[in-house]
Structure 1
């Protein structure tokens, strides 16, 4: 699958597992097509939980998931889980800018602006800030993805609902997406929760069927320069 070139791709996600839930199939497809795929994970993912630990299990799961979909080892950060709105936006944006300077991605994928989770909202804003369209800026395309148990829980009458206008066929890589989610077993739930393995696979097939393929992931194009 060719996009603009075979240049690097950066996925910026608030929590380890968001990247696979949102675009794990696309990540695998990009990797298969020769793109170098990188993931920037912003929070420790555990500090807001009653049973919080040092996050090492989640980091190990993220590294295993990355191997499965063919992306580089994730870049980890330790912003507070479910409290990124307590951090100045500029501080968050600088972390994204640093990754962009190092990786030089042509395409950046991140959260949908309307997600219920506040960390997703902050990360979206930080990416938009870091990807300001200045002359010679390397980022040509910005896409947003939905995350189960956040995007569909937003208040839809406020203009926040996710409306995909780009679809990536992931029939060939859906099994790897599902295997990567198995690496995140501690984050998955049992049906009928929307973050169950069954729900994730069903959504991929439903999204695919709406555009005439067996399975797909949907994205919103925030900006695209060809």
Structure 2
């Protein structure tokens, strides 16, 4: 059994980026947990203090429902301000990550791509690679970056492009991802938006075609330690 930790910026990223792969881990007997750093949705209001508390409560309920479908053992939240991670000292976010890495001691970590358009995604990546740096025997031996549709594909400058080099056949598990995303009533969009069910299926099918399977999720390898 391996311990898996997904570290995501916002509620639904833990499904969009790696939902089917996590379900595959669960089916293989691995223990999977997620840490969501941000609270979600409050940046959609002109003034953060004007957000509707019932909508934030609903988002939390959606997160719990989605996590159960995928099979996460626990989904933790740090409730950082949405799309305002750059208002925090990076060290403060690193310390949050370090605490969960130290307590969970994951073998594998999945997180955001460093070139994503979304500022919270970028900072999450920086916090993860720093907070999970290999300075002790109890370290994550593998770290992967996932694709987050409606952010990753919108970085049009070459040096920020997502270049996957690790492919996971999720043909048997893609339906879990779609069902989990259905729970996110405030995040799921209609086609042709990137976060529509049609596009999620299309994206998985596109990556699957590259490795001759029906559906795949893809990642960039950050680190693999073979001892």
Q: TM-score, normalised by structure 2?
A: 0.94
Give the secondary-structure state (helix, strand or coil) at the position aligned to 1:38.
strand
- Match in the other structure for 1:85: 86
| 1:197-216 correspondence to structure 2 within 5 Å | 197-216=197-216
Matching of residue 21 in structure 1 with residue 40 in structure 2: no
Post-superposition CA distance 1:21-53 (Å, at most 9, x none): 000000100011111100000011022122723
Deviation at 1:156, TM superposition (A): 2.6
Post-superposition CA distance 1:119-175 (Å, at most 9, x none): 000000000110111131321000000101000011333x11001000011001000
Post-superposition CA distance 1:71-117 (Å, at most 9, x none): 12310111110110111111001111111111110100000000000
Q: Which runs of 4+ in 1 moved over 6 A?
A: none
Inter-partner Cα distance in structure 2 for 1:56 and 1:140: 35
Inter-partner Cα distance in structure 1 for 2:187 and 2:113: 20
Cα RMSD over matched residues?
1.0
Give the secondary-structure state (helix, strand or coil) at the position aligned to 1:222.
strand
Match of 1:33 among 9, 28, 35: 28
Inter-partner Cα distance in structure 2 for 1:21 and 1:68: 13
Q: Would the aligned equivalents of 1:16 and 1:45 in 2 still touch at CA under 8 Å?
A: yes
Q: Would the aligned equivalents of 1:206 and 1:215 in 2 still touch at CA under 8 Å?
A: yes
| 1:147-162 correspondence to structure 2 within 5 Å | 147-157=148-158, 159-162=159-162
| 1:36-115 correspondence to structure 2 within 5 Å | 36-50=31-45, 52-54=51-53, 55-115=56-116
- Match in the other structure for 2:187: 187
Post-superposition CA distance 1:160-218 (Å, at most 9, x none): 10010000110010000000000112201111111111000110011011111110000
Q: Which sections of structure 1, spanning at least 5 residues, go unmatched?
A: 1-5
- Match in the other structure for 1:3: none
Deviation at 1:59, TM superposition (A): 1.0
